[in-house]
């Protein structure tokens, strides 16, 4: 249930882009540096604050993704590694692993916004290659009662998961 909000935010951001730019010439030139401007021209007019809404949506999408990764790191430290730290210390460590590399990369590429767009495209490609390597073992493990006990996912979730991955 905790992933529903990040999913919905990312779904809305993707839907707005699809509605606004699918099949248009502008779609070839849109990146993070000019997306808000294009959306303002397409949907905003003079009175509707599309740039602000786009900024909040982009911030929410990034934050929800980062929080998801951070929580995963915290659970791994808690359960698998059996590290017993105070909650604030665990949060600082896991969030630093999520935020510090992002800040370093953003500062390094600060000279060129188009370089960040290219980096973003490559990160999306990398994620699309890596996600199956983590999801397939995850779904396999959470489907086994020997591993999860009473927390094993049900047959419906297994079928839906396998259909999505195939």
State residue 77's pLDDT score: 66
Show the domain range for 5.
Answer: 1-108
The length of the chain, given as a count of residues? 166
pTM, rounded to two decimals: 0.55
Note the pLDDT of residue 7.
74
- pLDDT for 135-146, tens place per residue? 788 888 888 888
The 3-state DSSP class for residue 34 equals: coil
What pLDDT does 2 receive?
56
**100 and 155: one domain?**
no
Structure tokens at 140: 């396999």
Last residue of a domain, one of 88, 108, 128: 108
Clarify whether residues 104 and 116 are in a common domain: no
* C-beta atoms surrounding 132 within 10 Å: 10
Q: pLDDT tens digit string along 103-122? A: 887 777 665 667 777 777 78
Give the burial class of 94: count Cβ atoms within 10 A of its Cβ; 0-12 exposed, 13-18 middle, 19 or more buried: buried
Tens digits of per-residue pLDDT, 22-40? 888 877 787 777 777 888 8
Kindly state whether residues 148 and 81 are assigned to the same domain: no
One domain for residues 67 and 147: no
């Amino acid at each position: 249930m905790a992933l529903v909000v990040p999913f919905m935010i990312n779904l809305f951001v993707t839907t707005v882009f699809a509605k606004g730019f699918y099949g248009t010439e502008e779609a070839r030139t849109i990146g993070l540096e000019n997306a808000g401007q294009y959306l303002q021209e397409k949907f905003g007019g003079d009175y509707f604050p599309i740039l602000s809404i786009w900024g909040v949506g982009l911030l929410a999408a990034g934050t929800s993704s980062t929080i998801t990764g951070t929580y995963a790191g915290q659970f791994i430290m808690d359960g698998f590694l059996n590290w017993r730290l105070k909650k604030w210390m665990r949060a600082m460590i896991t969030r630093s692993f999520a935020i510090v590399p992002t800040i370093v990369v953003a500062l390094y590429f600060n000279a060129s916004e188009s370089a960040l767009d290219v980096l973003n495209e490559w990160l999306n490609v990398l994620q699309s290659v890596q996600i199956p390597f983590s999801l397939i073992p995850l779904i396999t493990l959470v489907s086994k009662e020997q591993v999860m006990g009473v927390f094993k996912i049900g047959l419906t979730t297994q079928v839906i998961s396998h259909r999505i991955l195939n």
